[in-house]
Each structure stands twice: as structure tokens, then as C-alpha cells.
Structure 1
Amino acid sequence: MKNVTDSFISLDYWPSAGSFGFNTDILATNPINLSVVLGGLIFFGKGVLNDLLDNRKQRILNTIRNSEELRGGVIEELEKARTRLRKVEMEADQYRVNGYSEIEQKILSLRTSASTTLEQLENNKNETIHFEQQRAINQIRQRVFQQALQGALETLNSCLNTELHLRIISANIGMFGAMKEITD
């Protein structure tokens, strides 16, 4: 063993020490040692490598499974949100329709109220005109009656003499007396 260590320490054993190159001597490269080391690595490293790959595979599968679960949850939430959106849209449409129908009802009510008010105003106007006409007619009648009465009195006073005056008074007294007898 001393020779082996000396050979590694001594640079005389390797003539090309300090330069790089390929050694084509099969015995010098020690293929048996390399095959044993490689075989050991493959035999023992295979389990470790398989364990690492299995762990990696499990993590990837778990990540995919979690992603699928999250995706399912997100899809479910999306469907719930879409359902709520459709419900809100239907309610908004209902409010819109109700709002329009309420506006139309108010417009119809205002039109009816305005029509009724106009009819009442027209009736009041007609009644006022009729009342004013009746008042004007009554005033004219009173004036005509007063003028006719005044004219009749003037005619009577101008045509009436004392004798005719006494006869009219006697005739009226007689009529009042006859009326008194009938009522008693």
C-alpha cells in the first residue's frame, strides 16, 4: 500500500503529469473499480433516486389534485356568482318594469286628474257665465220694470183727475172688502 500512496505522491510515476489527455491503457484506468463503483451507485442510488422521484411525483400529483380541487371550488363559486348575477339582473329588470309601469300609472293618473280638473273648471266657468247672465237679465228687468212703472205713474198722474181717482179708490176698497169676506 505504501507503493500506491507513493505513486500518487510521486510525479515520476505519471510521465504526463501536469498535462491533460486520454489514457488509452485499459489496465491503467482500472475498469473493474469503475464498474464496481458504478454498479454500487446504480444499485444503492436506484432506491434513493426512486424515492426522490416518487416523492417528487407525489408532490406533483398532490399539487395537481389541490389545483383540481381549487379549480372545482372556483368553478362552483363562479356558477354561484353567475346565478346571483342572473338573479340580480332579473330583479333589476323587474324594478325597471315596475318603475316604468308606476311611471305610466302616474302619468295616467295625472292625465285623469288634469282632465277632471279641466271639466270642473269648464263647469264652473259655464255656471259663472250663466249666473252672470241671469244677474244681468234680472238687472235689466228691474230697470225696465222701474222705467215702465215710472212711465205708467207719470201717465196715470197726467191722465188722472180727481173724479177718476176717487172711483179707483172706491173700487179697490170694494175689492178688499170682498176679499175679506171670502177669507172670513
Structure 2
Amino acid sequence: MGTFIVLAVEAVAEAEESGFGLNFDILETNIINLAIIIGVLIYFGRGFLGKTLADRQARIAESIQEAEQRKKEAASALAEEQQKLAQAQTEASRILAEAEERSKAVREAVLAQAQEDIERMKAAAAQDLSSQQDRVMNELRQRIATLALERVEGQLKSGLSESTQQQLIDRSIASIGGHS
């Protein structure tokens, strides 16, 4: 403030010596005007500016504290979420391993069941083939016997005369009658 007064006094003394007139020296007039404005601002604005700057400093400090608190909360939340992620990954690995074990067991059970089914089908097919062979053999025997009887009957009817037939009948009666 002392500098301001000295500058103001020098400016007044110069004005008295040279008289009243316009000073066209831009550097000199700007410095004087600037000194006057700064002096007035310091004198009248000291309390206002001090209060405004103190309020602003308090708000900035409060904002910094809030930001640091949010940072701590975010770091805590991040650590918690990372822990949850690690637990989820562990659980996923466990589930995957368990699923692989189950699929292996199911695959082995399916293969064993398929093998049993194949063996059962082979046994059923063999039994069916054997019964088919027996049935076919029985049919062939019956067919052969039927054909043989038909042929014998055909030969008997055509090859036997009536006297031969009478002799056969008599012999048959005699053999039946003799055994009775």
C-alpha cells in the first residue's frame, strides 16, 4: 500500500510541474492506472477477496476429501468385486470339473449298457436262429413224411391189383387176429 501512495504522490507532482495536459506515453499512463486500480482493489477488496478465497479453499478442500472418500469406497468395492470374481471363477472351475467327471461316468455307463444290450441281442438272435432251425427241420420232416406217404399211397393204388389188395387185407386181419 505504501508503494501505491508513493506512485500516486509522484503522479500528482508531475502533473503540477508540467501543468495540465494529456500524457501520450502509453507505458507511463498504463502503469499509473494499473497501480491505482491495484491499490483500490487491495484497500477495498482485501476483506471480500480474502473471504471469497477462504470459502473457495474450504470448498476445494471439502471436494478433495469427498473425492478421496469416494476413491476409498471405490477401491473397497473393487477389492470386494475382485474377490467375488475369484470365487466365481473357482466355482466355475469346480462345476466344470464335476461336469467332466459326470460326463465320463455317464459315457462309461452308456457304453456298458450298450455292451450288455449287444450281448443280449446276440443271445436272443442265436436262440431265435436255433428255434428257427428246429422249426424248419420239423417242417421239412413233416413235409418229407407227407410227400413219402403220398407217393407210397399213389404207388400202392396204382401198383396193386385187386387180388394183391385182398391178400394184404387178409394178412393184416390174420396178423391182428393172431396177436389178439
Q: TM-score, normalised by structure 1?
A: 0.53
2:95 corresponds to which residue? 91
Cα distance change on mapping 1:18 and 1:129 into 2, 3 Å: same
SS at match of 2:15: coil
Counterpart residue type for residue 72 of structure 1: S
Deviation of the 1:144 alpha carbon: 4.2
1:37-56 matches, within 5 Å, as: 56=60
Aligned to 1:29: none
* Matched ranges for 1:66-77 at <5 A: 66-77=70-81
| 1:64 to partner: Cα distance | 1.9
| Displacement of 1:173 | 1.9
The 2-side partners of 1:137 and 1:168 are apart by 28
Q: Work out whether 1:109 is the aligned partner of 2:113.
A: yes
What percentage of residue pairs aligned between the two structures are identical?
Answer: 10
Equivalent position SS for 1:114: helix
Question: 1: distance between equivalents of 2:17 and 2:65?
Answer: 56
Higher relative contact order (CA 8 A, sep 6+): 2
The superposition leaves residues 81-102 of structure 1 with CA deviations (integer Å, 9 ceiling, x where unpaired) of 2212321342244234323432
CA-CA distance at 1:132 after TM superposition: 0.5
Distance in 1 between the 2:65 and 2:162 partners?
140
Aligned equivalents of 1:94, 1:14: Cα separation in 2: 105
Aligned pairs for 1:92-171 (under 5 A) are 92-144=96-148, 169-171=173-175
State the shift of 1:165 in Å. 6.8
**1:52 Cα deviation (Å)?**
6.0
Distance 1:80 1:166 in 2: 113
Shift of 1:148: 6.1
The RMSD of aligned alpha carbons is: 4.7
Aligned-partner SS, 1:11: helix
Cα separation, partners in 2 of 1:13 and 1:84, compared to 1, 3 Å: farther
Q: CA shift at 1:115, angstroms?
A: 3.1
* 1:32-60 Cα distance to aligned partner (Å, 9 max, x none): xx9xx8xxx7xxx6x99788656644542
Are the structure 2 counterparts of residues 161 and 103 from structure 1 closer, same or farther at C-alpha, using a change threshold of 3 Å? Answer: closer
1:13-40: CA deviations, max 9, x gaps?
Answer: 479x54336xxxxxxxxxxxx9xx8xxx
Distance 1:152 1:81, change over 3 A: same
Count of aligned residue pairs for this structure pair? 153
Structure 2 gap segments, 5+ residues each: 1-7, 29-38
AA at the equivalent of 1:133: M
Spell out structure 1 runs of 4+ moving beyond 3 A.
Answer: 7-10, 12-15, 17-21, 47-59, 141-162, 164-171
Choose between structure 1 and 2: higher helix proportion: 2
Structure-2-length-normalised TM-score: 0.54
Quote the Cα distance in structure 2 between the aligned partners of 1:168 and 1:55: 143
